[in-house]
Amino acid sequence: MKTTLLFLLLRLYFTSAQSRATLIVSPSSSQFFEYNSVSLICDHSSSDEWTVWRYTNGNKLSSCDSGWGNPTPSRCDIKAIKPLDSGMYWCESKYRDSSNMVNITIITGKGVILQSPAGLVTEGDNITLNCKEQNTNNLQAEFYRNNFSVSTKPEGNMTIHQVSKSNEGEYKCRMSENKSSPSWLLIEDGLDPAVLTVSPDSSQTFEYKILNLSCRHDRSSHGWRIARVTLDHKLSHCGVGWGTPSSSGCFIQTAKKTDSAVYWCESATRQRSNSVNFTVHHGNVTLQTPLRPLTEGDNVTLLCKTKTSHTLPCDFYKDGAHVKTEPAGHMTIHGVSTSDEGLYWCHIAGYGESPPSWLFVRGSNSSPSPSALTIILIRLPVVVAPFAICTVLALFSCRHTGNSLKSC
């Protein structure tokens, strides 16, 4: 029993490790002068490719290959960054797992920037904040935290030694008569980001159904809020024109076609959950498929249904080709593999077609990157140690009482 439990925990641990990424900004800053070069790198623990995404101040959601950057595997380079590039950036895998977010601000003319770590900072590190005017160096600067002056430095930089949670906050600086935009200093809390879950657990539903979205987190759901981008590229948060915020997420009493969107959870510390592409259909047929990616070897059932029945004969399609006809409205795939991954939909005679839905399958042979192996080697003892200790104590107890190992 203990061996089985340990195996399940290890599988969960490695799957979780492979579904995480960190967005690294190079040079490491969240503020830049116009025409600077910036690289955005997805540091991750799987063999999958990740893509850099952003939504800008115009609330437009787009990926690096949309024309604003030069995409390479798990990386995006911006050669001459401009004010229109100001916005929130993150990495996302094809399975819709996500990295942390970084708020990047671009300053023009003779403005001031505050150079501070772009990502989460580890408690105990030493960090330096640099206040800069374009084409000038080492001028006196005053630093502010949460709008209160904390220090004036003659050479324009301030070092915080052994940073702690108490140093977290919104920082600005003033040089001459110019003030920088705010920059957040955020401390790593060691916890995995939240996971967005949706009830009903399907990528499609009919109009006027109840929709419940929850941010599931190791500690609590407090401090997380749900955001979405609709089909017309509008970004908004639960409670602003749609949905009712709840203690765990967001509640939509009567879902409508306009609620079709990509949803995710955000925290105050710029953490971001997985995203979910959810369709609210006004037609007669929906296809129920899992929201989260499957793992090779899993079994999955696809359900084709109308508003009144889920047992009618139907045809299933994948990537434009007919797969099979099922007499009772459902198709089960046993032991899925990556070859089963694709875009599915179904058709019921006399009722019509469902919208398409992606079925994602995570390969079981993904190998962690070298940086991931380092993280795993550091953290793995935390997972294994309790079970190793229990096993040693059990063996000692067996030897002490004279019982055989088998009986123990």
Q: Looking at the structure, do residues 199 and 272 belong to the same domain, yes or no?
A: yes
Q: Looking at the structure, do residues 210 and 172 belong to the same domain, yes or no?
A: no
Examine the fold and report which residue of 142, 169, 188 is the final residue of a domain before the chain moves on.
188
Q: How many domains does the chain have?
A: 3
Is residue 233 in a domain? Answer: yes
Q: Could you give the count of Cα atoms lying within 13 Å of 373 in the half-sphere of its Cβ?
A: 6
Is residue 112 in a domain? Answer: no
Is residue 337 in a domain? Answer: yes
Q: Looking at the structure, do residues 182 and 217 belong to the same domain, yes or no?
A: no
Q: Looking at the structure, do residues 166 and 220 belong to the same domain, yes or no?
A: no
- In the prediction, which pLDDT does 234 show? 85
Q: pLDDT 10s per residue in the chain (408 long)?
A: 444 433 333 333 334 444 578 999 999 999 999 999 999 999 987 767 899 999 987 667 899 999 999 999 999 999 999 999 999 999 999 999 999 899 999 998 888 999 999 988 999 999 999 999 987 877 899 999 999 999 999 999 999 999 999 999 999 999 988 999 999 998 887 777 789 999 989 999 999 999 999 998 766 556 789 999 998 888 899 999 999 999 889 999 999 999 999 999 998 777 899 999 999 999 999 999 999 999 999 999 999 999 999 999 999 999 999 999 999 999 999 999 999 999 999 999 999 999 999 999 998 755 444 444 433 343 444 444 444 444 444 444 545 555 544 444
- In the prediction, which pLDDT does 387 show? 42
What CATH number is attached to the domain comprising 179? 2.60.40.10
Nearest-5° Cα angle at 168, 39 to 100: 35
Is residue 90 in a domain? Answer: no
Q: Looking at the structure, do residues 290 and 346 belong to the same domain, yes or no?
A: yes
Examine the fold and report which residue of 167, 188, 209 is the final residue of a domain before the chain moves on.
188
Q: Looking at the structure, do residues 169 and 229 belong to the same domain, yes or no?
A: no
Is residue 113 in a domain? Answer: no
Is residue 96 in a domain? Answer: no
Q: Looking at the structure, do residues 357 and 303 belong to the same domain, yes or no?
A: yes
Q: Looking at the structure, do residues 249 and 319 belong to the same domain, yes or no?
A: no
Q: Looking at the structure, do residues 278 and 292 belong to the same domain, yes or no?
A: no
Is residue 363 in a domain? Answer: yes
Is residue 197 in a domain? Answer: yes
Q: Looking at the structure, do residues 276 and 298 belong to the same domain, yes or no?
A: no
- In the prediction, which pLDDT does 46 show? 74
Examine the fold and report which residue of 171, 188, 205 is the final residue of a domain before the chain moves on.
188
Q: Which residue range is the domain that position 127 belongs to? A: 122-188
Q: Looking at the structure, do residues 272 and 196 belong to the same domain, yes or no?
A: yes
pTM of the model: 0.79
Q: Looking at the structure, do residues 133 and 179 belong to the same domain, yes or no?
A: yes
In Å, how far are 43, 93, 356 from 63, measured between CA atoms? 17, 11, 22
